[in-house]
A and B are shown apart, each in its own frame.
Chain A
Amino acid sequence: MLAKFTKSIIAAAMFTFAFVPSSFSADTIKIAIVGPITGPVAQYGKMQMDGASMAVDQINSKGGVNGKKLEAVLLDDVCQPKQAVAVANKVVSRGISFVVGHLCSGSTQPASDIYDEEGVLMITPASTSPEITKRGFEMLFRTIGLDSQQGDVAAKFIIDEIKPKRVAIIHDKQQYGQGLAEVVKKQLNASNVKVVLFEGVTKGSNDFSALISKIKGLDVDFIYYGGYHPELGLILRQARERGLKSRFMGPEGVGNKDISAIAGEASEGLLVTLPADFTTDPANAGLVKAFDDKKLDSSGPFVMPSYAAVQIIADTIAKSKSEDPYTVAKLMKKSTYQTPIGTVAFQKNGDLKAFKFIVYNWHADGTKTPAK
């Protein structure tokens, strides 16, 4: 037994050493792009990966930064807090000091704890929860607006344009969805619009028939949903099937063609708050063409913010001639950038100084038009 155990220990040790990472090449600047590559919201991850990879390619084809090439390391956090922590530890142990991600607010929050402590600079192109930047981390930035801004736009639209009498608010109990739902609820309450139902649904569930019957019983004429498209798609579809005719509205987390695939005709007329469509900006025409040439869709809400995030990191490294994330972060707060999402400057806490959300009308064929 003695011999066997010793042998197995040695075997285990050898096994371990055999896998020790072979080399650290310092001739590239690694940027980790972290988002959901698999899982229910992988579509958003694709937008992020497409945007960021395009930026890396374009910068490299112009000769890179300070003579070095950028290297995009794509990592998958499945939009789960648990995986986000695991991936963040992986980023740290691989010695990567720049991150573009994560995507879901619920993942960004725990991951940023680790990045902050280990000195990794992070730009999230998609997480909109205000909580993230409230903690005063020095190396945390975002190239997208906040739920408070988005919720304000949504609430204003509901109050001024829809003028409903009884509103139901549903959310998915996650940081992003619930946070938004609460902002909207607060605004509606302040303007004396009656919120008759405020309820959470479980992410990943597919039977909403009881909830829909309940909403029908409450005689609701407008419904706001805070969360992502897989659940809202099913709610829409099941609601229309059951004869619930109220109008729905959702945040940018539902603005994805998949919602039309799930809900079919029921997605016609859905209201969505999205970042302004950057692809129509004439200054981006060349970039949009580059995406089209590669057969990638550039119209997703997170494509351009991700592109901008990589570009900002690269520009600042070039300008500061340093790859030290602390130096880069300090300079980043003082600088102004010209990016596909417009002129970008950061506040002290890492939020953008300005970001615009617009309300769109969603159509059953997966397209959108601005709602007025």
Chain B
Amino acid sequence: MKQNFQNAIIATVLSFVLLSLTIGGLIQVEGIETTVVARPWYVVIGCTIVFIIQLFRDQLVFVFKGFGNVLKTLVRAEQIAEHAIQLKGSDRFNPLFYLTVLICLSVYPFIVSDKLWIGMFIDIYIYILLALGLNIVVGYAGLLNLGYIAFYAVGAYTYGILNHFYDFSFWLALPLSGMTAALAGIILGFPVLRLRGDYLAIVTLGFGQVLVILLRNLGSITGGPDGIGSIDRPTMFGIEFSRRAKEGGVPFHEFFGLEYNSIIKDFFFYFLALALVIFTIYVISRLVKMPIGRSWEALREDETACKSLGINSTSVKLSAFAISSFFAGLAGCFFAAKQRHISPESFEFIESVIVLAIVVMGGMGSTIGIILAAIFVAVLKDYSQDLQEYRMLIFSLILIVMMIWRPRGLFPATRPFIKLQNRQKSQECGC
């Protein structure tokens, strides 16, 4: 206790120095005069918080540890339950459960029937898509990609440019966007994947920056800082969702003889996003069970061992890069179609960090964890009016706390594991 008290005093003195000349003085500009207004209360409050935290440090650590243990038990219980289901002979795929979830999600938009709340779920779906894609690289393959949002941008601009200049439709551009993004992933990955982890992270970050600079400067193609506007919405079998259809098209409401209501369009986007998410989850869940997915994880655990087993580490890493970029491309294309306007600001580094925060928080490699984290982050980011200003502060704190407390996330992925008494199952841990 005495030690803690001493520490607390030192920490308080230091935070006083830190706070008094940063938050303690507000810079105010009146006309051409600049003045500093003292805000002593901010400093006092800040110092008090630091003092209390330091004084009760042991207790806090205890609480965090306890919470961590609860989570650990939960995860363990989940693993055992899952194992039990498997033992009972039913496959991991439980149709009834997934059907229930699907039905719930399908009736949701009709129940709320409000643009704001449908829009929130569409945003959540986009974050899920992005986070699942990034999870392939970060969670499974263990490569830190800090420029992930660049591939999202590639997807979005692919559709934007194809639509703006060549009138490509959404459905044609969707696979193309994915493939262009994957190609970008391969082009970037080819030279840089030899680099060690933290260098790779910085280079991918640099790539993301370069792409944004190019988007800003290649005005004749990308529209510069203003971006590309009036992008076409997707159609459903040729039926449009706008008030007035383009030349030769039929708007949805006229086709079905309804009064125009713009919410129909939101329903459509909702289901489109849901379909994309389901597709992504399905593909990824298959991939990780295939040899390719197994070798991603093996490579993450021990690169040297994998090399000596004859795994071509470059091509395995490249495949992870390309596939994860592919999903970012799909998400980007959908984003462009939904927003109808894309500009470089949507693809800044901060967005990469947000997606990374989702992956880190959800548990690297864990799909369920990531979905929950994506919901949390999307709600916090855009739909919490009171916390708006503090959201980035909260994200950054989450990143730090998670690294110290649970670096593998709240819900770490369930690894395929061998039970000794069940020997024939041991092939499952394929490397």
Within B372-404, the residues touching A (CB, 8 Å) are 372, 375, 379, 382-383
Would you give the 0/1 interface string for B128-160, flagging 1 where the beta carbon is closer than 8 Å to chain A? 000000000000000000000000000000000
Query: Is B262's CB under 8 angstroms from A117's CB?
Result: yes
Compute how far the CA of A16 lies from the CA of B108 in the bound complex, rounded to whole angstroms.
Answer: 10
Query: Contact: A16 with B112, CB < 8 Å?
Result: yes
Stretch at the interface among B43-51, B290-298, B338-346: B338-346
The answer to whether A110 and B340 touch (CB under 8 A), given A19-B383, A89-B115, A93-B119, is yes
Asked if B262 contacts A13 (CB within 8 A), the reply is no
When C-beta atoms are compared, the residue in chain B nearest to A76 turns out to be: B388
CA distance A312 to B104 in the complex (A): 47
Is B61 part of the binding interface, using a Cβ–Cβ cutoff of 8 Å? no
Stretch at the interface among A156-164, A237-245, A255-263: A255-263
Could you say which of A1, A85, A203, A366 contacts B81, with CB atoms under 8 Å apart? A1
Judge whether B34 and A261 touch: CB under 8 Å. yes
Known A-B contacts A16-B120, A82-B345, A117-B242; the reply to A173 vs B225 at CB < 8 A is: yes
Contacts of A264 in B (CB 8 A): 32
Closest B residue to A263 by beta carbon equals B32
Contact A258 B29 (CB under 8 A): yes
CB interface residues, B 62-87, toward A, < 8 Å: 74, 78, 81-82
Could you tell me if B32 and A365 are in contact, using CB atoms closer than 8 angstroms?
yes
Do A117 and B82 touch (CB < 8 A)? no
B341 near A5: Cβ-Cβ < 8 Å: no
Query: Any chain B CB within 8 A of the CB of A202?
Result: yes
Q: Which residue of B lies closest to A203 (CB)?
A: B225
A80→B350 CA distance, assembly (Å): 15
Q: Does A92 contact B (CB under 8 A)?
A: yes
Indicate whether A202 sits within 8 Å of B227 (C-beta atoms), given known contacts A81-B341, A258-B29, A260-B32: no
User: Could you tell me if A6 and B227 are in contact, using CB atoms closer than 8 angstroms?
Assistant: no
Q: Is the interface of B mostly helix, strand, loop or mixed?
A: helix
- Given contacts A20-B114, A173-B216, A178-B224, is CB(A80)–CB(B343) below 8 Å? yes
- The answer to whether the Cβ of B117 comes within 8 Å of any Cβ in the partner chain is yes
B100 lies within 8 A of chain A by Cβ? yes
Binary contact track B220-243/A, C-beta < 8 Å → 1, others 0: 000011110110000000000011
Closest B residue by C-beta to A10: B104
From residue 249 to 284 of chain A, which have CB atoms closer than 8 A to chain B? 257-258, 260-261, 264
A290: Cβ under 8 A from any B Cβ: no
Interface set, chain A 92-151, CB cutoff 8 A to B = 92-94, 106, 109-110, 113-114, 117-119
> A8 contacts the other chain (Cβ, under 8 Å)?
yes
**A88 CA / B262 CA spacing, docked (Å):** 14
* A12: chain B residues within 8 A (beta carbon): 375
Is B219 at the interface (CB under 8 A from chain A)? yes
Inter-chain contact A257/B372, CB cutoff 8 Å: no
* Contact between A92 and B262, CB atoms less than 8 A apart: yes
Instruction: Give the distance to chain B from A76, nearest Cβ to Cβ, in Å.
Output: 10
Decide if B74 touches A93 in the complex (CB within 8 Å). no
* Residues on the B chain within 8 Å of A261, using CB: 29, 31-34
Nearest-Cβ distance from residue B237 to partner chain A, whole angstroms = 21
> Are A4 and B74 also in contact (CB < 8 A) when A13-B108, A113-B229, A173-B219 are?
yes
Measured CB to CB, the closest approach of chain A to B246, in angstroms, equals 12
Q: Given the complex, which residues of A lie within 8 Å of B119, measured CB to CB?
A: 89, 93
B345 and A257 within 8 A (CB): no
**B interface footprint on A335-350 (CB within 8 Å = 1, 0 otherwise):** 0000000000000000
Residues of A bordering B, CB below 8 Å: 1-2, 4-6, 8-9, 12-13, 15-17, 19-21, 80-83, 85-86, 89-90, 92-94, 106, 109-110, 113-114, 117-119, 172-175, 178, 200, 202-203, 257-258, 260-261, 264, 364-366
Apart from A19-B117, A21-B116, A261-B29, what are 4 other A-B pairs with CB-CB below 8 Å?
A: A5-B97, A106-B343, A110-B229, A117-B262
The 8 closest A-B pairs by CB, nearest first: A110-B341, A93-B115, A81-B343, A93-B116, A82-B345, A1-B78, A261-B32, A260-B32
A-B contact pairs, 10 of them (CB 8 A): A9-B104, A16-B112, A17-B112, A20-B114, A20-B117, A81-B229, A106-B225, A113-B230, A173-B217, A173-B225
